[in-house]
Homo-oligomer: A and B are copies of this chain.
Amino acid sequence: MDNAKYFEQARLLIEEHLDRLLPDKTISDIEDAMRYSLMSGGKRLRPLLVLAAADAVNGSGAKYLDVACGLEMIHTYSLIHDDLPAMDDDDYRRGRPTNHTVFGEAKAILAGDGLLTKAFEVMLSQKDVDMGALVETVREIAVCAGAEGMVGGQVIDMHAENNVINIERLKEMHMAKTGALFKAALRAGGRLAGADAKELQALTDYAENFGLAFQITDDILDVVGDSSEMGKSAGSDERRGKCTYVSIYSLDGARALAQQHVEEAVESLSFLGNKAKRLIYLAEKLISRNN
């Protein structure tokens, strides 16, 4: 199967599974706000990375949909909370009004809490895996999503607005805010599929380079991107006085750096040969993405 078709099928599997996992009706009406953000057509990059990582090890990717979808729920909760008035105060996300704009602040906070909690329920419902590997996988996901990972990165990011931070701190912030969850996704797929130490390290190296290339292209898109394709307004970094890869390296410098990280991501998987083709494809697509 060619790569485009593989990822289209995987994305459909993920969409269907997310839809199945979310309750249609709960004891309150919070399911509406949870569903609104979770089913708003994101790229599903984190669950796709789980599946592709497991496929790179032994072709078992489609088995791990629960863990994969849990990661998407964690990602979605973080977007809902980041968009809140007390945080980034964003009105649009993926071309639609943000969660709190539709449901109010209180519900948006609780919808985020509900999704984060649901993520752990769902991941721990994963069947047909070694229980010890599942415990270690989900524990590591929690580490990557928490104060030493995604949550910590968001705190640094808040402080960084209207402050000049140096490139080391910028990199640390991105490695935490977005990179940690990519790392969790790749290591989850790898570990559940039974990756050995060398494979797990290669997936980790890939993840770190993938995460940096993703962030750099994100900063580039904020400058050159089309608002309607991105579903959010371009130029927001500059308006907020944010330090970005473009503000530090210029556009051409940032493009070259993104290319370099993609090459390093690909290189780290070279010993896997053809098995790594899905992951290589995803990394190379980063350079040409427009949303």
Contacts and interface: CB of A to CB of B under 8 A. Distances in A.
Interface of A: 23, 26-31, 34, 77-78, 81, 84, 86-87, 104-107, 109-110, 112-114, 116-118, 120-121, 124-125, 131-132, 134-136, 138-139, 142-143, 145-148, 151-156, 158-159, 172, 176
A35 to B, nearest CB: 11
Contacts of A34: 147
A121 B143 CA distance: 6
Nearest to A138: B124
A139 B121 contact: yes
Given A81-B113, A109-B84, A124-B135, A30 B142 contact: no
A160 to B, nearest CB: 10
Given A23-B147, A113-B113, A116-B117, 7 more contacts: A26-B148, A27-B148, A27-B156, A30-B147, A84-B109, A114-B152, A125-B139
Nearest to A143: B121
Contacts of A159: 28
> Main secondary structure on chain A at its contact with chain B?
helix
B135 A147 contact: no
Contact of A152 (B27, B155, B172): B27
Contact of A124 (B29, B121, B142, B152): B142
B145 A117 contact: yes
11 contacts: A29-B155, A30-B155, A81-B109, A84-B106, A86-B106, A112-B113, A117-B147, A121-B142, A124-B136, A124-B138, A131-B131
Contact of A120 (B113, B142, B148): B142
B118 A147 contact: yes
B152 A26 contact: yes
A117 B181 CA distance: 13
Contacts of A136: 124
A195 to B, nearest CB: 19
By Cβ-Cβ distance, the 7 closest A-B pairs, closest first, are A28-B155, A86-B105, A121-B142, A124-B139, A131-B131, A117-B146, A114-B147
